[in-house]
Amino acid sequence: MVGPPGAGKSLMAACLPGILPDLTPSEALEVSMVASVAGELPGGRLIRARPFRAPHHSASMAALTGGGLKARPGEVSLAHLGVLFLDELAEFQRPVLDSLRQPVETGKVTIARANAHVTFPARVQLVAAMNPCRCGHLGDPALACARAPRCAADYQAKVSGPLLDRIDLHVEVRAVSAADLVLPPPAEGSAEVGARVAAARAAQTARYAPHGLRTNAEADGELLDAVASPDEPGRKLLAQAAEQMRLSARGYHRVLRVARTIADLAGAAGVGRAHVAEALSYRRRAPVN
Q: What is the tens place of the pLDDT at every residue in 53-85?
A: 999 999 999 999 998 878 899 999 999 999 999
More confident residue, 231 or 133: 231
Does one domain contain both 148 and 228?
no
Does one domain contain both 174 and 95?
yes
Domain count, the chain: 2
204/207 Cα distance (integer angstroms): 5
What's the domain range around 202? 190-281
Which amino acid does the sequence have at 133? C
* Position 216 in a domain: yes
* Position 153 in a domain: yes
Other Cβ atoms closer than 10 A to 43? 4
State percent of the chain over pLDDT 90. Answer: 60
For the stretch 169-222, pLDDT in tens is: 999 888 777 888 888 887 777 888 888 888 999 999 999 999 999 999 999 999
Angle at 192 between CA 190 and CA 197, to 5 degrees: 90
Those residues whose C-beta lies under 8 Å from the C-beta of residue 39, and which sit 6 or more positions away, are: 72
* Position 107 in a domain: yes
SS3 197: helix
* Position 286 in a domain: no
Quote the pTM value: 0.86
* Position 2 in a domain: no
Task: Tell me how far the alpha carbon of residue 128 is from its chain's centroid.
Answer: 7
Angle at 270 between CA 268 and CA 272, to 5 degrees: 95
Among left, alpha and beta (phi > 0; psi -120 to 50; other), residue 66 is left
100/158 Cα distance (integer angstroms): 15
Angle at 6 between CA 184 and CA 167, to 5 degrees: 95
Does one domain contain both 240 and 114?
no
What phi, psi does 239 have (nearest 5°)?
A: -65, -40
Q: Which of 181, 198, 230 delimits the end of a domain?
A: 181
Q: Are 96 and 59 in contact (CB under 8 A)?
A: yes
